[in-house]
Structure 1
Amino acid sequence: MWVCQQIGITPCVYLNKFNNLADFCVQVLIVPRVLYHQEEEMYHFLEETILLRKREVMTGITIAMLLGLGATGTATGVSALVTQHQRLSQLQMTIDEDLLRIEKSISSLERSISSLSEVVLQNRRGLDLLLMQQGGLCAALKEECCFYADHTGVVRDSMAELRGRLAQRKREREAQQGWFESWFNQSPWLATLVPTLIGPLTMILLTLIFGPCILNKLVSFVRRRLDKVDILFVERMQLS
């Protein structure tokens, strides 16, 4: 074979029409590239290709499942945090209610003590008047006189301060409370129902989103596998 600058590849060169000034030719030997593989190597190569594609489909399904499990765990964790915050708020409300009851009881006891002290002092004045000729009640009893020290004002101020703090905490709790938390407080059974339903609903939603994609990949994988099986069958028939 000859390889020329202008003519190209040609099996022969006609010297009468060959232009030595404008063209240049070199004689070459052209050998076609032929790769020989045994039958077992070809089957092994095709099987490795099929396995790699199958692994790719399984990777997509695995990623989708991991995303579903991760979203479910996240939703469950968020619902648990909401439930925990709601329970802490209920505990704080219960403590405030108990403190309010205690404040009312102490205030009632303080009023009772004040009323009792007024009665005792009134009786003391009456006895002093009756025993005035003998020098008063203490002289008649021949004992030291006792004087009443009223400390109910301290109790009254402390209870007033406690009422103010409870009212302030209630206002702050109502101001920080959102519509979602108030919804839970108005319906306590939702605190148990919502965390129970979030997991299944998340799985159903992810199945509806990723299900068609996974199904299409699975169908295409099965179709490619069947096509490869058909090709292998045809090649074996041709070789046989």
Structure 2
Amino acid sequence: MDIIGDKMRKNQIEKIEVLRRVGWLSDCPAEIQAAIFDIATVLRLEADASVYQLGGEPGGFFGIEAGCVAFEAAQSSRAPQKGLIFHAGCWFGEVTLTGQRVRLVGARTTRPSTLVSIERRRFLALAARQPEIWRYVADLTADNLARVVGLAEDLMLRDSRQRLAATLVRLAGLREAFPPNPPVIDATQSEIAAIANLSRSMGSPLLQELERDGLIELNRSMILIADPPGLVQRTS
């Protein structure tokens, strides 16, 4: 990278605020934070932009400074569908740092988003100099595994109303230590129903019921959580 380009990159990184304050990297020691930001690049993406594709080659990992990223998976012959949604403060994509496996999920922005990108090549060079950094990457993987297990646990709820409420709470980021404000889910009613393992004919009436109760506000392609504490209460 030329001197001017590197200076521009560093100027952009200096403006990053959310990822310094919340989430995985904010819990790392100051020297690890500095080392990661020193090799980082800022990406500004439009809505529905691919961060990486399902089945794609191994690459780097990313932090969300602003916006949202949805993940899609397909472990069978079915078409990929939206699953987890990550909000500002979350990091993702680190799994392929440790081997040559292809991407097991795809990642796509759901709205205009600002990401911090850590290239795989740069990270591996850093890790060769500071091998203790792998410990913190393991912590990140554990955090993301907990999110996946949490969604799986939500989907095992037998009661349809509880399961839908738990899914909405999860997708809105309300289970995070740093929940977004306002909590908004970038997904259609049919997508929410599919994630919650409900038919569209069952999901839509249950969503409308939650709206009548003042817990959510339904829009064409997004859902606002109007009463987060009330919605959380519906999960139990």
| TM score, norm. by length of structure 2 | 0.17
Greater relative contact order structure (CA < 8 Å, 6+ sep)? 1
Larger relative strand fraction: 2
Larger relative helix fraction: 1
